[in-house]
Structure 1
């Protein structure tokens, strides 16, 4: 399986303090890759770097084999990279419909942008029922659906998803994870998933990487990581 996104020897820090150290990563096209590890492992920093919000001090990032150094965040979006950050990032003063339309503002094909919006409402029935509600009136699960839906309106090729289950009930988490599997299978969407709920992440992922203290310490298919008792105890907490 070819890689859609690759990181090569990526080192990133905040100020003089390095957070990521010589990270190598390959994200297979059309697959869900889980990024696992304890708090402070560097997972969120990795996503922020891959989406263009942070610039590596060293190394390079490739999308379809093209070097992304110097590419602005807006251009990353146009190239098909969508980033849903931890905390969901919903504009609470705007309605559900207004939030979703933000995801397609940059698109020139207005007819397809409208189709994408309708598809999101089909995927997320609670949002369809609340399309005129402001974001602050939504539940945590609905806000996560809204953040994910807004990203999907842009028809991304690669979805960077940071802690989608944070603060959600197990039932809602299961729905979100099931949706990721559906999108992978039906559209070929590539997903890089950062998730503290290791069991949930590995239940939908095709492959996984494990991070510790800013380094990638393991990478394998999801089934292998689930069955590796030493790895689970050392890094995954179950």
Structure 2
């Protein structure tokens, strides 16, 4: 077990958004976090990466209790977070953005492997962030996270605002990374069909609580659950 979450309650101020959430993620596993707007999906990722402090519960990563670990140190434990919105430094080049992801490492990150994953970025390595398309900025945000060589990638809404072709490329990349490197992914995604097509497991949230955790194929085939919680 790579990540074990037990009884996690968290939110903003005194009002909890997540209520006693429990689940696990194994190595080489893609877990899709699904649910309607307001279900608590983004709050979950922000809590796991240390941006939000939990009110109660336990988060254990590879045997290490992460309670109280500062957000800037999470990457040293092997957790990288790609927030919603393709947050790249627009004044820096593609190369410089990728190097930021590995700043904490003693050696400079090996960028050739990342450029192999994203050939479009290799062609624009000297371009500034603001010169990239939306799809290229999303690739850059993911690439910067991968430069830290994480064991768990927290990925929030990677398809937001992107063309279906680019979305398919990113989803295929996640599956390839899992198979080749053993990377585990916790994927928040509104495009339920796309997420379930690459995920091993689906975790469904409703109003901050876990409704079910099941094999992705089983969730995709559960018409009652899909209509009730996933909108299709």
Q: Unaligned stretches of 5+ in structure 2?
A: none
Q: List structure 1 runs of 4+ shifted beyond 4 angstroms.
A: none
Corresponding residue number in structure 1 for 2:21: 23
Corresponding residue number in structure 2 for 1:108: 106
Spell out the pairing of 1:116-135 with structure 2 (5 A cutoff).
117-135=111-129
2:9 to 6, 11, 20: 11
Shift in Å, 1:77: 0.4
Spell out the pairing of 1:152-171 with structure 2 (5 A cutoff).
152-171=146-165
SS of residue paired to 2:2: strand
Corresponding residue number in structure 2 for 1:145: 139
SS of residue paired to 2:225: helix
TM-score under structure 2 length normalisation: 0.98
Shift in Å, 1:63: 0.4
Shift in Å, 1:17: 1.3
Q: How far, CA to CA, are the matches of 1:211 and 1:32 in structure 2?
A: 16
Q: How far, CA to CA, are the matches of 2:141 and 2:30 in structure 1?
A: 18
Q: Tell me, yes or no, if structure 1 residue 47 matches structure 2 residue 45.
A: yes
Corresponding residue number in structure 2 for 1:34: 32
Shift in Å, 1:70: 1.1
Shift in Å, 1:29: 1.4
Shift in Å, 1:74: 2.3
Corresponding residue number in structure 2 for 1:212: 206
Corresponding residue number in structure 2 for 1:192: 186
Corresponding residue number in structure 2 for 1:201: 195
SS of residue paired to 2:24: strand
Shift in Å, 1:27: 1.0
Q: How far, CA to CA, are the matches of 2:33 and 2:225 in structure 1?
A: 14
Q: CA offsets, 1:56-114, max 9 Å, x none?
A: 1111100012211111122210111000000011111111111011001110133xx2x
TM-score under structure 1 length normalisation: 0.96
TM-align CA RMSD: 0.8
SS of residue paired to 1:208: strand
Q: CA offsets, 1:180-220, max 9 Å, x none?
A: 00000000000000000000000000001000001111100
Q: Unaligned stretches of 5+ in structure 1?
A: none
Corresponding residue number in structure 2 for 1:75: 73
